[in-house]
Structure 1
Amino acid sequence: MEASCTRLFTRAELKTRNKREDAVLIIHNGVYDVSKFLEEHPGGEEVLLEQAGKDATEPFEDVSHSSDARALMQKYKIGELVEEDRTQEKTTTPSWTEDKPQEQGKCVLA
C-alpha cells in the first residue's frame, strides 16, 4: 500500500511561478498548477496569468464559479500552503450553494 502525502509550498517559492509555462495559483490555501489549463479556461488565459504566483482566492470567488469548475480544479491541485503561510478562511456561506431556489409568489390564503 502506497502512502499519499501532500506537497507543501511557501508563498515565497510560488511568487515566481507566474509564467505561461509555469503558472500556479493559490486558492483557499490549495496550490494549483494551471499551466496546462490556460488555453481551456473559459474566461481566457490572461485572467489566470494575471493571478499566477499569487493568492487568487478572492478573484476566484468573485466570479462565482460553478460546482463543475470547482470539481475540475482538483485535477490541477499540486499541494497546499505551509501552515504559517495559510490565510484564515472565512466562515460565511458560499454564494455557490447548490440549494434549489425557493419558489416565490405562491401563497395560499385560508
Structure 2
Amino acid sequence: MESGRDKAEVFTLAEVSKHSSREDCWLIINGKVYDVTKFLEDHPGGDEVLLAATGKDATDDFEDVGHSATARAMMNEYFVGEIDASTIPTKVKYTPPKQPYYNQDKTSDFIVRILQFFVPLAILGLAVAVRIYTKSE
C-alpha cells in the first residue's frame, strides 16, 4: 500500500493484528496505521520494540519514549490508513478491591502520645543506666 492517498483506508484491529511479523509489521499510533516493516532494521530501539507493539494501540508506548519531531515527521512515510476506533478495546480503569473498613481510632490519641513520649525516654534512661554501669566497673 502506498502513502499519500486522498482517502485513507480504515482498518479494524483484527486486520492490523495480522501484520505482526518481521516480514509484515503494522502499528497503530494515535488512531493511524503504519506499515513499519521497512523501518524495523533502522529503528534506534531495535526491531523487538516495534514487534512488541503490534496487535494493540501502541500510542502510549510511542508517547512514553518521547520521540523527536524528526521521528514524528518520518511516520508519514509509513502511513497506510486509519484505525476503526470501535474495534480497539477500551481501557479499563483500575478499581482496587474493596477493603474491610479499618478504624484508625481503635487506639486512643492519648495512649499514642504517651507512648511517643515514654518510649524514647525509656531508651534514653536505659542508655544512661548502661553508661553509668559500665563506667563504675
Structure 1 segments of 4+ aligned residues over 4 angstroms from their partners = none
Higher relative CO (Cα under 8 Å, sequence separation at least 6) belongs to: 1
* RMSD of Structure 2 on Structure 1 (CA): 1.9
TM-score by length of 2: 0.58
Structure whose alpha-carbon radius of gyration is higher? 2
Structure 1 residues 18-97: aligned runs within 5 Å: 18-85=20-87
Q: Residues 87 and 73 of structure 1: is their aligned pair in 2 closer, same or farther, counting only changes over 3 Å?
A: farther
Note if contact 1:23-1:53 (Cα within 8 Å) is conserved in structure 2.
Answer: no
Q: Distance in 1 between matches of 2:57 and 2:41?
A: 21
Q: Distance in 1 between matches of 2:37 and 2:49?
A: 12
Q: For residues 10-36 of structure 1, what are the alpha-carbon distances to aligned partners after superposition, in whole Å with 9 as ceiling and x for unaligned?
A: 011111211011100000000000000
Please give the secondary structure, in 2, of the residue aligned with 1:52. coil
TM-score by length of 1: 0.71
In structure 2, stretches of 5+ residues that fail to align are 91-137
In structure 1, stretches of 5+ residues that fail to align are 89-110
Task: Report the alpha carbon displacement of residue 52 of structure 1 after superposing the two structures with TM.
Answer: 1.8
Give the share of equivalent positions with the same residue, in percent: 51
Aligned to 1:105: none
Task: Report the alpha carbon displacement of residue 53 of structure 1 after superposing the two structures with TM.
Answer: 2.6
Instruction: Write 1 or 2 for the structure with the bigger share of helix.
Output: 2
Please give the secondary structure, in 2, of the residue aligned with 1:73. helix
Please give the secondary structure, in 2, of the residue aligned with 1:42. coil
Aligned to 1:5: 7
Say how many residue pairs are matched: 86
